């Protein structure tokens, strides 16, 4: 195996390992749709529950308002016997009127909050019933995925072993270079050399698929014949070439 072949294999193993690790931390494709539906319904249920809480708090606030204003009303009514003149009397009556209005307002608020609470509660019961079916389906798929996980984890472990072997075959400076380039390009250190589409018959021309910069024929010869590590002159990715199957 040439150096560049080893690097191509190594890159491949890293990419596969990345995919396996991502999968292990997330949800497989076949579960994605149900996972999203499950999440959306759960969010909806949480929102309704929050609305119920809010209505309940509003109701408690309004009821406390009723109690407070009733206290004030009682206080004013007790003062009636102590007024000394008509002016004080009518002022007191005005206050009493105002407080009675306030009580009515709070009572109306409490009633509305109660109705809101009941409406939302009915909606919540309905949603929860529908959710129960979804949840059991979700749990089933989750169990199925949990059962598959060890296989994916074992595959990842195998890839780690393969990476270690492949890395051991590379001269340290080249491995170091590979790692640096891989880091710079978000995990993918390689770029394929491709033939440029030519119009008519001309000289064969090559370019880097990573950045489209030209690749000189002698670089391609180095890669194909000697398996050397050649960097793209422009983007500095490691170039590789896939021989035509045909």
Does position 235 interact with Zn ion (CB under 5 A)? The reply is yes
With contacts defined by CB under 5 A, name the span among 30-38, 74-82, 116-124, 200-208 that binds Zn ion: 200-208
Report the nearest approach of Zn ion to the CB of residue 206 (Å).
Answer: 11
Rounded Cα gap, residues 161 and 149, in angstroms? 18
Report the nearest approach of Zn ion to the CB of residue 227 (Å).
Answer: 19
Number of residues that bind Zn ion (CB under 5 A): 7
With contacts defined by CB under 5 A, name the span among 51-59, 110-118, 198-206, 209-217 that binds Zn ion: 209-217
**Residue 62 CA: distances (Å) to CA of 83, 106, 111, 131, 146:** 31, 5, 9, 33, 49
With contacts defined by CB under 5 A, name the span among 35-43, 145-153, 167-175, 225-233 that binds Zn ion: 225-233
Q: What SS3 class is residue 28?
A: coil
Strands (E), the chain: 190-195, 206-208, 214-215, 238-240
Rounded Cα gap, residues 211 and 14, in angstroms? 22
Report the nearest approach of Zn ion to the CB of residue 226 (Å).
Answer: 20
Report the nearest approach of Zn ion to the CB of residue 1 (Å).
Answer: 24
Rounded Cα gap, residues 14 and 56, in angstroms? 54
Does position 138 interact with Zn ion (CB under 5 A)? The reply is no
Q: Which of 232, 238, 240, 241 binds Zn ion (CB under 5 A)?
A: 232
Rounded Cα gap, residues 171 and 3, in angstroms? 9
With contacts defined by CB under 5 A, name the span among 64-72, 89-97, 148-156, 227-235 that binds Zn ion: 227-235
- 206 pairs with which residues across the strands? 195, 215
The residue ranges that bind Zn ion (CB under 5 A) are 208, 210-211, 213, 232, 234-235
């Amino acid at each position: 195996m040439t150096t560049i072949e080893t690097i191509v294999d190594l890159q491949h193993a890293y990419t596969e390992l990345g995919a396996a690790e991502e999968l292990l931390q997330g949800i497989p494709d076949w579960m994605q749709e149900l996972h999203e539906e499950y999440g959306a319904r759960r969010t909806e249920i949480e929102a309704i529950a929050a609305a119920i809480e809010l209505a309940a708090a509003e109701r408690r606030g309004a009821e406390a308002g009723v109690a407070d204003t009733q206290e004030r009303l009682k206080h004013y009514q007790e003062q009636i016997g102590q007024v000394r003149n008509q002016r004080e009397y009518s002022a007191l009556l005005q206050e009493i009127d105002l407080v009675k209005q306030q009580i009515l307002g709070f009572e109306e608020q409490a009633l509305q909050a109660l109705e809101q609470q009941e409406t939302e509660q009915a909606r919540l019961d309905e949603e929860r019933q529908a959710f129960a079916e979804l949840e059991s389906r979700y749990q089933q798929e989750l169990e199925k995925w949990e059962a598959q996980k060890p296989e994916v984890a074992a595959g990842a472990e195998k890839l780690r072993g393969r990476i270690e072997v492949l890395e051991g075959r590379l001269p340290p400076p080249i491995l170091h270079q590979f790692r640096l380039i891989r880091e710079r390009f978000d995990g993918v250190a390689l770029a394929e050399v491709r033939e440029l589409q030519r119009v008519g018959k001309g000289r064969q021309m090559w370019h880097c698929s990573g950045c489209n910069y030209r690749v000189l024929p002698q670089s391609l010869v180095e890669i194909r014949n000697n398996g050397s590590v050649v960097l793209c002159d422009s983007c500095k990715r490691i170039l590789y070439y896939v021989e035509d199957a045909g």
